[in-house]
Amino acid sequence: MRTAVLTSAMPLLGLLVVPLAPPAAGLAEVAPAAARPAAGCPTAPAYQNNGAKFGVHLSTGSTSFADAFKASERTFSEMPIVRVFDGNVPPADAWTNRAPVLDGTPVVTSFRMPPGRVLKGVFDSRLTAFFRDAPSQPIFWSYFHEPEKEIDVNRTFSARKFRRAFQHVARLAAAVCRPNLFPTLILTAWTTNPVSGRDWRDYYPGDRFVSVLAFDPYNNANGKPTSYPRPATVFASVVQAARASGKPWGVAEIGSGLVRGDAGQGRARWLTRTGRYFKSHGVSFVCYFNSRIDAVDFRLLDRPSIRAWRALIRG
């Protein structure tokens, strides 16, 4: 049995308090009866950072959860945290299948359903069961990770509706009163860059509904990188946003393809420097996106990159 990190359900003291959520977020909105938190149970249990944990994203597109987990451990050794993604509402047997495999390993897990249907209570029973049946290790759950494109580009729903839906899901989790369930807002790193024209606070559901703030930074997420820039060049805005939130923070996904002509040594050095940079700025967890999207291959297949990430995992 792995040793899970013990956490506290008591609120953190001394956090920087800033007016992050716009007035339209409506933190005093009346929750549906089915989504009311249990008495004395916070909607955002406090997470105590006990040191940076490095792990990987489990790619299950062509294999089972168990096989993906075992393959990752064979490559990188026993992992202190993993990343899991559900493209819709979590399956009814999510923990029946996953908990025995995880065996106490903390997990960053996310799911995506339309905010309008969430607010109508369509998924209440499924989500309540998901939270109620969750194992006892730290679970950093996220509703609709990286919502920015759907809000700002596709105009599928508004930021206000996203925030309200996130709050609704947080109340469902609080209703089962599990101190190891940490609502985690996951945004793109691009959103923290002033050039994006965005403000990460627009998507922030409010301090009462977020335990951990996380980001997905990549070294060129849309194609082959041309270099391995200094970590501060890529990630300084992420660290700045994390500090401004006053919350523990993490990196839910990170990745880099290989620069042309690099057999892995260059990326390995970049991974090592990046890991050190994150640790020096108090990160709680970092999960590598060990997969590929269309023409972009982020997988760590070369020996130097594998050794570098394995060293961070073991560190």
258-284 mean pLDDT: 98
Written as six digits, the tokens of 12 are 């953190």
With DSSP H G I counted as helix, E B as strand and the rest as coil, what are the percentages for the chain, rounded to 5?
40, 15, 45
Q: Is the pLDDT of residue 90 over 60?
A: yes
pLDDT in tens, 7-47: 333 333 333 333 333 333 333 344 455 567 777 899 999 99
Instruction: Provide the pLDDT for residue 35.
Output: 64
Q: Are 96 and 43 in contact (CB under 8 A)?
A: no
Rounded CA-CA distance 143/98 in Å is 19
Task: Outline where DSSP puts E strands in 168-245.
Answer: 181-188, 212-216, 218-219
Written as six digits, the tokens of 171 are 């109340």
Tell me the C-alpha to C-alpha distance, in Å, between residue 144 and each of 35, 132, 149, 219, 310.
18, 20, 11, 22, 29
Rounded CA-CA distance 287/291 in Å is 12
pLDDT mean across residues, the chain:
90
Instruction: Provide the pLDDT for residue 37.
Output: 76
**By C-alpha distance, which of 205, 211, 213, 202 is closest to 242?**
213
Q: Are 165 and 217 in contact (CB under 8 A)?
A: no
Tell me the C-alpha to C-alpha distance, in Å, between residue 40 and each of 9, 132, 167, 179.
10, 17, 17, 11
Torsion sign, CA atoms 190, 196, 202, 206: positive
Instruction: Provide the pLDDT for residue 294.
Output: 80
The full set of domains in the chain, from first to last, is 50-314 (3.20.20.80)
Q: Are 53 and 286 in contact (CB under 8 A)?
A: yes
pLDDT in tens, 198-213: 999 999 999 999 999 9
pLDDT in tens, 104-130: 999 999 999 999 999 999 999 999 999
182-190 mean pLDDT: 98
Burial class (CB in 10 A: 0-12, 13-18, 19+), 235: buried
pLDDT in tens, 53-87: 999 999 887 789 999 999 999 999 999 999 999 99
**Sequential DSSP letters for 131-182:** HHT--SS-EEEEESSS-HIIIIIS-SS-HHHHHHHHHHHHHHHHHTT-TTEE
